[in-house]
Amino acid sequence: MSDEDSSSDGPNWQIPISGTVKLYLVQAKLSAQDISELLSLAERHNLRVSKLRTGEEVTFQLCPSAEQSDVVITNVRMRKRLERHIVWDLAKEKAIVTPDWLRDSVEQRAILPCGDYAALRELHETTVENCPDSDCGSEEGTEHTSSEGLLVASEIEQPTELMKAHYTSRYACLRPCPLICPNQGLVRQLAIIRRSRELEGKDTSALSYERAISVVKAYPHKLTASRLAEVAKLPAIGEKMLSKITEYVDDGEIEESQTIAVSARFQALSVFTTVYGIGATTARALFDVFGLRTLSDAEAHYACHPPSPARAERDSKIRARAPSLGIREALALRAELEEKIPRAEVEAMHAVVMAELAALRPGCLSTIVGGYRRGKAESNDVDIVITHPTLRSGSDQVKGLGELLVNRLYDRGLVTHVMHLSSFRSPDALRTAHWDALEKALIVFVLPPPALRAHRRLDLIFAAPEAYWTAITGWTGSKMFERDLRLYAKERGLKFDSSGITRRRDSKAYIPRSEREVFTVLGLEWLEPEMRNADA
């Protein structure tokens, strides 16, 4: 999912490896399959993981006894059981974690906070203290409880019980949604109506369909007439929506969806909006005012009605050398930009970007987010969240990186257009607690030869280290999952967005140290990215 092996990060990682973190695996209560998976993760050759607080890179090393280890990995959850394998006093000197700590640390290529994965409640505190994620222990944590009003997540009142995810929940962030659900045919038909409402500017109706789709996506049974009574009670399913669903169950299709799909207007508006820079309002004007019906009509139109020159939204202080993507260029590139990007190509793009970045600023961490992270076989664009792991100097290291990287990629012929480039912003009057800790570069990218050099949309999000995990959560999606995540946070007195979590009453910012902690702070049961597919 993220950068799992060193090859995907390019050849130029220059941070010295300064040590090893020694692991001991308690094999009791683990299946043979789990044991072999965990051993191979721990022994993965040359895998470097970063200490999030210091940026130091280390490797994992298995060791034959608990005494010699830094971290003990176990599925045992009870003191008596654990004492059969490790004496209690020794256990208190180690970080004792569940197997997920190793899995997630390898996936994120970072030593994740052991406290989040403590295997035994009685050993939580000593596990936090003994976690090899920093060399300065808990002192650093206190440092971040600064006068600016920052809190580390371990210091806030954690919700005592996490909300359980279930398909009947009111919030999409609490409804596990697979990529493909048992009622995908119905979802497709509802999505046509939703899209038509959006194209016609009927946003409220579009949102009702979007909500209903996210509820159907989570419904775990194949819909039949006998299940309609239950479906009627689900959130976002009003009378009208139920009649559409009933129609689908009875006839295998929805008449309105069929009519829309074949209508010349829907087809024209749909195709116009596939051009970057043409939104629903412009598309309607092209159809209604100028009488255009096809893409060649649009090309002819823009040839004699030059659009106002495209201006990328840029911070006045930032200079991108690459040109903006105007409508004429977007029309010319439309066929390529419309192609879906297979996973292997997403990974190749990520590897190239990270290799170029490593030459500029060694030691950055990254995760491919968006649809790719949710398991989509093909993506419309590529989204990557990037940070530098050194907490103390990280924001300085990350600051300005978007501009530097985009210009470097342009000089190397890897970027052809820049649609948006923004920099970190200083705290403003409305957001007293924390500054906007993200930079964004929305660009058109081409792989270097000898690859097939198709133009692809690429979004790079540069996060200060304290915003890395919220940026990952915020950019993983899907859209409806994110919408309800923000709503759910709001109802709990918090504000969530990709740049952070703040408590509304005093604007204090929480700094999560893993994505799991983002969920915990918000009071949510963990959902794998593959189960966050709340959109069609």
Shorter beta-carbon distance to ligand DCT: residue 123 or 385: 385
Selected catalytic residue, list 22, 51, 244, 440: 244
Positive/negative CA dihedral, 126, 131, 137, 140: negative
Stretch of 133-141, 204-212, 462-470, 473-481 contacting ligand DCT, by CB under 6 A: 473-481
In the residue annotation, 244 being an active-site residue is answered as yes
Question: Counting contacts by CB under 6 A, is residue 371 touching ligand DCT?
Answer: yes
Q: Which does 475 bind (CB under 5 to 8 A by kind): Mg ion, ligand DCT, none?
A: ligand DCT
Cβ distance 443 to 456 under 8 Å?
no
Question: Counting contacts by CB under 6 A, is residue 183 touching ligand DCT?
Answer: no
Which residues are CB-neighbours of 163 under 8 A, at least 6 positions away? Answer: 169, 174, 523, 524, 525
Q: What is the 3-state secondary structure (H, E, C) of 450-499?
A: CCCCCCEEEEEEEECHHHHHHHHHHHHCCHHHHHHHHHHHHHCCEEEECC
Q: Which amino acid, 125?
A: E
Q: Which does 209 bind (CB under 5 to 8 A by kind): ligand DCT, Mg ion, none?
A: none
Shorter beta-carbon distance to ligand DCT: residue 145 or 380: 380
Question: Counting contacts by CB under 6 A, is residue 363 touching ligand DCT?
Answer: no
Task: Give the E-state strand segments of 246-330 in sequence order.
Answer: 313-314
Cβ distance 124 to 115 under 8 Å?
yes
Stretch of 37-45, 193-201, 419-427, 476-484 contacting ligand DCT, by CB under 6 A: 476-484
Angle between helices 184-199 and 239-251 (to 10 degrees): 130
Q: Coil, helix or strand for 536?
A: coil
How far is it, in rounded angstroms, from Cα 81 to Cα 77? Answer: 8
State CA 531 to chain mean position distance: 12
Shorter beta-carbon distance to ligand DCT: residue 102 or 337: 337
Q: Which does 477 bind (CB under 5 to 8 A by kind): ligand DCT, Mg ion, none?
A: ligand DCT
Q: What is the 3-state secondary structure (H, E, C) of 85-133?
A: CCCHHHHCCCEEECHHHHHHHHHHCEECCHHHHECCHHHHHHHHHHCCC
- Closest C-alpha among 532, 464, 467 to residue 502: 467
Question: Counting contacts by CB under 6 A, is residue 484 touching ligand DCT?
Answer: no
Which of 20, 380, 432, 507: binder of ligand DCT (CB under 6 A)? 380
Question: Counting contacts by CB under 6 A, is residue 523 touching ligand DCT?
Answer: no
Question: Counting contacts by CB under 6 A, is residue 99 touching ligand DCT?
Answer: no
Binding residue count for Mg ion, defined by CB under 5 A: 4
How far is it, in rounded angstroms, from Cα 70 to Cα 51? Answer: 14
Question: Counting contacts by CB under 5 A, is residue 436 touching Mg ion?
Answer: no
Stretch of 273-281, 301-309, 372-380, 405-413 contacting ligand DCT, by CB under 6 A: 372-380
How far is it, in rounded angstroms, from Cα 178 to Cα 49? Answer: 30
Question: Counting contacts by CB under 5 A, is residue 345 touching Mg ion?
Answer: no
Question: Counting contacts by CB under 6 A, is residue 432 touching ligand DCT?
Answer: no
Question: Counting contacts by CB under 6 A, is residue 490 touching ligand DCT?
Answer: no
Which residues are CB-neighbours of 503 under 8 A, at least 6 positions away? Answer: 156, 493, 494, 495, 510
Question: Counting contacts by CB under 6 A, is residue 497 touching ligand DCT?
Answer: no
Residues from 355 through 414 that contact Mg ion (CB under 5 A): 370-371, 381, 383
Q: Which does 478 bind (CB under 5 to 8 A by kind): ligand DCT, Mg ion, none?
A: ligand DCT
Q: Which residue is nearest to Mg ion (CB)?
A: 370
Strand 415-422's sheet: what is its strand order?
313-314, 415-422, 438-445, 456-463, 382-387, 365-368
Stretch of 255-263, 325-333, 433-441, 477-485 contacting ligand DCT, by CB under 6 A: 477-485
Question: Counting contacts by CB under 6 A, is residue 529 touching ligand DCT?
Answer: no
Angle between helices 32-42 and 99-108 (to 10 degrees): 40
Shorter beta-carbon distance to Mg ion: residue 3 or 57: 3
Element (H, E) at 356: helix 343-360
Which of 121, 319, 479, 490: binder of ligand DCT (CB under 6 A)? 479
Could you give the residue numbers annotated as active site? 244
Q: Which residues bind Mg ion (CB under 5 A)?
A: 370-371, 381, 383
Q: Which residues bind ligand DCT (CB under 6 A)?
A: 370-371, 376, 379-381, 383, 475, 477-479, 482
